[in-house]
Amino acid sequence: MHTLILKNVTVKIEDKIILDDFSLSVKTGEIHAIMGPNGAGKSTLSKVIMGDPHYELISGDIYFDNQNLKDLTVDERARLGIFLGMQMPQEIPGLSNADFLRNAIHQKEGYSFKLMSFIKELNSTCEQLKMNKEMIHRGVNVGFSGGERKKNEILQMYLLKPSMILLDEIDSGLDVDSLKIVGENVMEYYQKQEAGILLITHYQRLLDYIKPDFVHIMMHGKIIKSGTGELVSEVEKNGYEAILKELENHE
């Protein structure tokens, strides 16, 4: 079993506090969904866990099992089994998707890396995700549509075999059929690999496939309310401001 723990994490960027004394713990075998308005700090949260150097952790700690992630680089965190499927995956012109994946996996697996089994798995996963094979040989995300980029993130996830998965709006840009493919595949992976998932989304539709055990509402860099799947309908019915107001009225 693995646990990701954020303890009183405060993050600043250009003198603005984005995560404010944020605490959360995610275990393998659990799915946590985070919902919240634009600018709440959701993507920042995922990037800080992954170790994006643009963000300054001014207080608090992030642990994976007993290890403090503070001084670990992005690749070191990835080697521990943490993975981020990004909201806006970047293009890397000049580096083919296949080379990128082969290198990443070779780096992670070291001597146990086997080229033939990598190629086999790459092909079968592409088929499973209904991705066009030609995308393997194009530059990473170069000329990919929004939905294709999201599927490419899931392809990376499958091949890297992480145990702690952060998915930032993996549903945005996906058509209904692709949403189903991605949702079902993430769920299949989760069950097979006994992973933990931190899922950032704006909509119920993804949660119909990837069913969360916990739902957290995030506003202004903090979790303001946690609950189960029912909280999603409350959000969709009333909106975030109403939830915040109700909490303030109870104080």
Ligand X SMILES: Nc1ncnc2c1ncn2[C@@H]1O[C@H](COP(=O)(O)OP(=O)(O)OP(=O)(O)O)[C@@H](O)[C@H]1O
**Per CB under 6 A, 170 contacts ligand X:** no
Distances (CA, A) of 37 to 80, 140, 168, 180: 31, 30, 14, 24
**Per CB under 6 A, 41 contacts ligand X:** yes
Interacting stretch for Mg ion, rule CB under 5 A, among 34-42, 74-82, 124-132, 187-195? 34-42
Query: What is the greatest pairwise CA distance in the chain?
Result: 61
Name which position in 28, 31, 44, 171 contacts ligand X (CB under 6 A): 44
**Per CB under 5 A, 43 contacts Mg ion:** yes
Binding-site partner at residue 41 among Mg ion, ligand X, none, CB < 5 to 8 Å by type: ligand X
**Per CB under 6 A, 18 contacts ligand X:** yes
Instruction: Please list, residue by residue across 206-231, b when 16 or more beta carbons sit within 10 angstroms of its beta carbon and e when fewer do.
Output: bbebbebebbbbbbebbbbbeeeeeb
CA neighbor of 212 nearest in space, from 192, 229, 188: 229
Q: Are 74 and 51 in contact (CB under 8 A)?
A: yes
The DSSP symbol for 91 reads P
**Per CB under 6 A, 97 contacts ligand X:** no
**Per CB under 6 A, 179 contacts ligand X:** no
Name which position in 42, 77, 149, 150 contacts ligand X (CB under 6 A): 42
**Per CB under 6 A, 14 contacts ligand X:** yes
Element (H, E) at 107: helix 97-109
Q: Are 142 and 91 in contact (CB under 8 A)?
A: yes
Name which position in 43, 97, 163, 185 contacts ligand X (CB under 6 A): 43
Q: Catalog residues that contact Mg ion under the rule CB under 5 A.
A: 42-43, 87
Q: Catalog residues that contact ligand X under the rule CB under 6 A.
A: 13-14, 18, 36, 38-44, 54, 87
